[in-house]
Structure 1
Amino acid sequence: MLHERLEPIYDEVIHRNQGETEFHQAVREVLESVGPVLAKHPEYAENKIIERICEPERQITFRIPWEDDNGEVHINRGFRVEFNSALGPYKGGLRFHPSVYQGIVKFLGFEQVFKNALTGLPIGGGKGGADFDPKGRSDSEIMRFCQSFMTELHRHLGEYTDVPAGDIGVGGREVGYLFGQYKRITNRYESGVLTGKNLPFGGARVRTEATGYGCAFFVDEMLRARGTSFSGKRAVVSGSGNVAIYTMEKVHQLGGVVVACSDSSGYIHDPNGIDVELVRQLKEVERERISAYTERRPGAKYLEGQRVWEVPCEVAMPSATQNEINGRDAETLVANGCVAVGEGANMPTTPEGVRAFRSAGIAFGPGKAANAGGVATSALEMQQNASRDSWSFEFTEKRLQEIMRDVHARCHDTAEQYGMPGDYVAGANIAGFTRVADAMLELGLI
């Protein structure tokens, strides 16, 4: 429930951002946690910090004309929402997917503000993308699209201003094309202006693995806080893309057994443990559906059109997209003995699902905390670019683990401080919010 002083603020957010349902959901989820903060910090209300945090500093929408291999002209729409720079330059990914519109970008940017704050690193929050679908497009078509996209966006970027990264539909290939066009237009080899780069031109080791590894590290910390660990526990991971693959890899390294994963068509159940290398081969090399897994793994089953959350497990790790776990899914997981949930995707659990997990006492790691490993490693990439340095895989992974341990401690300790022990949703929202709010007070009314 919202604190009575926050109801009119939320109503105004809906009024000013009509039709942007994902953004409304993200704002409400934070506002539901920060009521107790206002009693402790009346200066936040006096300076209208909450109203200012809910309004992006800048929203950019632009046209992207490009030509396909057959000479046909296409027009897409691009977005960049520079949400909050109180802690540092705007930082957040670019998403290329047909579902992208202003509401999705604003929800992601809003979440990014608090996620970045939780890392303890000096980065603000932003997000961007386009309603372009890279699936089925040739490399040359994707290159032309990226070049047209950057031709407009470059004027808003800079290593001390706004530093995008990759997201859904934007990997090392796309970041390379984007950076190449930025360099061509600006005549500056400004490595730190984009992260998620491939290693030959300034990328960081572990960046590919970072979101999945970081989520597993966070869940491991939650389990340890309850006197247990991943050892011997069954885990279910939704999705079979980058985040899911490296979540599964690290869960196995930490002693867990991932028994199911999915794609948009259905899921596979392998009681002996998912063969992560086979999934990687199918999805990243052969671009196959996950159903092909059962052709090479005799003991596995494929269930078309079914929900992966029906598989009994002790740990659930949604790693695909927003709102993929609903209230019924959450109740099924609880009934089947799930004790911990770590959100590898952004806001993958509906409000009803979150309520079900919290009321059942599940150790629930919200995305803004559990999947902060990706942006944390992007910030490490920025550090390496700024110092013209390159770190080893082992050193970078150790830094990632330390950061995720600190993120967990901030959430855990803040929840206890506000009388809500074990509530990682409240802990993450309050810890992220207060860090940004304090910086905003220091900077004055801007």
Structure 2
Amino acid sequence: MTSRRPWPFVLRALLGWCGLGFGSWALCLLLLQVLFGRQVEALQTVQLGRDLALNVRLAELALERYPPHLVSELTGLDLAVVRQPSSQSPLSPALAQQAKALQAELCRRLAHCPMVVANGRSWDVWVELISPLEPIWLRVSLRSPMAWPPEPTLLFLSLLGAGLSCGALFLLLEVERPLRGLERALALVGDGDDPDAVPARGAPEVQRITHHFNAMLDRLAANRRDRDTMLAGIAHDLRAPITRLQFRLSMPALSSEDRDRCAGDLQSLERITGQFLLFAGGADGEDPVDLPLDQLLAEVSTSHPPERLQLDLQPVLACVKPVALGRAVGNLIDNAFTYGLAPVVVRLRSVADGALIEVWDQGEGMPAHQWERALQPFQRLDESRGEQGHCGLGLAIVAHVVRTHGGQISCASADGDAPGTFVIRLHLPSRPAAAVLPMVEKS
């Protein structure tokens, strides 16, 4: 069940986004005014000059027969009878420039070029009219660049720009950044690590995904703890009867046949117990050390006769976990004897980016479609082997050990001049790196 944000937090977030939206709108409006204010002002001057030229013609025609006050009442024009209007206030550069542009537009549209005088106290200009009796001026109000409301075109564009910028910022802060943190946590889970719970931030939808992800982490951790407890318990419970059997075998009452049978059972139980312990993570805490890898492989192979196990080892110094890697190579050798044919060949080669361990046998190998299944735990390709101490963890343990070393495992059939017909290769890097998923490929 997802937790909701408290109302004060939601209210603060809402007020913050409203303030950000208003600030973005004001900034966009200011930028548009700076960038396109001159063009909009020029278009307004052209429109005003066209309308004003028509009013000037009509007013001048009417002034030839009627007095100014009557013309002003009939037409609604603001006419004044003065010799020349003046202003004590200094003119702003914008007003002077707009007045000059309006005069140029009137001169272009009229037969004569009237005088245009700007009023410094207000955003007005006076246009001189031709009158037969007295000087008459027409007062025209201009639009200030800072007038409110802004020009509709700039207002619409600024609202659109503010909406786009706030939307992009919302996606960046409330969606993209929390999802990026979730992606990093997912990558850690894919690499086999246990990341901390991801803080639930961002949009409500992203928070719901984060809550589900954290719940998944809790379930995975619980399942991993249960698995480790179960496997450790199984291994612990098996060791007690193994010890009792070993003690009974030391008694002289058993026949040699029964003693051999019990000894075989003991070896199977010991093998299963060791595999369970290793698969449960018993070697994960082992620290890697630098050692001669060829000597480690030679020591692992000492329990097999040389006519059945051949070694082809180059001197290689590597940083590995010796106990885990020794058990992994021992599993490969046992599998080669169990599922393949002797002689088994263990070969070690130094490559550019690490070491390559190969275990060859003379058997038929396994079908390509079963390779990935063979790497899964508790999978036995030959069910008849289950009574011989094989619990289906051999290759799964090898894949786990190789993954903890940052290496790769692959299977292949023989090609060309090879010491066997089927091989399992372990590619180990020079130094232990981040864990990678096991790979199976066919050459």
Both structures adopt the same fold (TM-score exceeding 0.5): no
Greater RCO (Cα-Cα under 8 Å, separation 6 or more): 1
Q: TM-score, normalised by structure 1?
A: 0.21
The structure richer in helix per residue is 2
Structure label with greater radius of gyration: 2
